[in-house]
């Protein structure tokens, strides 16, 4: 299989309503200057789109970040169709506060891994950072940007509360 030299990160989500969470993922990748594609792909409402996306993902993407809520089958279904690493972001659902999303994403059967992050905004941010650290294994620039971000974060923590 011929892989593209500069493969992007894919950020996919099950619905437009997930974007209010997943936009934090976008923000981090922009700060780190990592290129990405942004798509809505629903496991239940657009299964053909999911299949097409996942099949092409092998050549196009180095990491896939998939956010979904409720019966959140999107990350697991993508992972079943590709060997590209998939990071699942459990969206905070209105009815069960994202516990449904978390359990649907994290409890994968052996053989098909999905890296699962925290529910909601924290998870969306950490998914981007985690994807960047995967790329940082082979990309020095990204590794350095990540390290700089860590230093900035450490400096921003005050020694005493106001
Ligand atoms: C899931 O259903 C989506 O990931 C979303 O979190 C949830 C609700 O979708 P909408 O009804 O808001 O479109 O597929």
Shortest-distance Cα residue to atom 14 of ligand 1: 14
What gap in Å lies between CA 133 and CA 143, rounded to an integer? 7
DSSP conformational letter for 69: -
Summarize pLDDT for 15-53 with one digit per residue, the tens. Answer: 999 999 999 999 999 999 999 999 999 999 999 999 999
The preferred substitution site among 39, 70, 123 for testing ligand 1, maximizing ligand atoms within 8 Å of CB, is 70
- CB-facing half-sphere around the CA of 53: CA atoms within 13 A: 29
Average of pLDDT values for 63-73?
Answer: 98
Contact (Cβ atoms closer than 8 angstroms) between residue 15 and residue 40: yes
Calculated CA dihedral for residues 62, 140, 122, 161, nearest 10 degrees:
180
Centre of ligand 1 from the C-alpha of residue 15, in Å:
5
Q: Name the nearest CA neighbour of 53 among 62, 69, 44, 41.
A: 41
Name the maximum alpha-carbon separation found in the chain: 57
Summarize pLDDT for 110-159 with one digit per residue, the tens. Answer: 999 999 999 999 999 999 999 999 999 999 999 999 999 999 999 999 99
E strand or H helix at 123, and its extent?
helix 121-135
Burial 70-86 (b: 16+ CB within 10 A, else e): bebbbbbbbbebbebbb
Please give the pLDDT value at position 105.
98
For residue 4, is pLDDT > 80? no
**Alpha-carbon separation of residue 123 from 53, 64, 82, 88, 149 (angstroms):** 23, 14, 22, 9, 17
Answer whether 15 contacts ligand 1 (Cβ < 6 A): yes
The atom number, within ligand 1, closest to the CA of 44 reads 14
Answer whether 91 contacts ligand 1 (Cβ < 6 A): yes
In sequence order, which residues have a C-beta less than 8 Å from that of residue 2 and are 6 or more positions away?
Answer: 59
Centre of ligand 1 from the C-alpha of residue 16, in Å:
8
């Amino acid at each position: 299989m011929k892989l593209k030299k500069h493969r992007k990160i894919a950020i996919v989500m099950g619905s437009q309503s997930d974007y209010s969470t997943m936009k934090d993922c976008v923000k981090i990748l922009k700060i780190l200057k990592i290129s990405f594609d942004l798509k809505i792909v629903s496991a239940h409402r657009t299964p053909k789109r999911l299949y097409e996306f996942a099949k092409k993902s092998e050549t196009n993407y180095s990491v896939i970040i998939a956010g979904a809520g409720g019966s959140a089958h999107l990350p697991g279904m993508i992972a079943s169709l590709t060997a590209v690493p998939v990071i699942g972001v459990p969206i905070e659902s209105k009815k069960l506060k994202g516990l449904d999303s978390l359990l649907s994403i994290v409890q994968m059967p052996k053989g098909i891994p999905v890296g699962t992050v925290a529910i909601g905004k924290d998870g969306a941010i950490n998914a981007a950072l985690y994807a960047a650290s995967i790329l940082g294994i082979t990309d020095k620039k990204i590794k350095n940007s990540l390290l700089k971000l860590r230093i900035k974060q450490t400096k921003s923590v005050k020694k005493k509360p106001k």
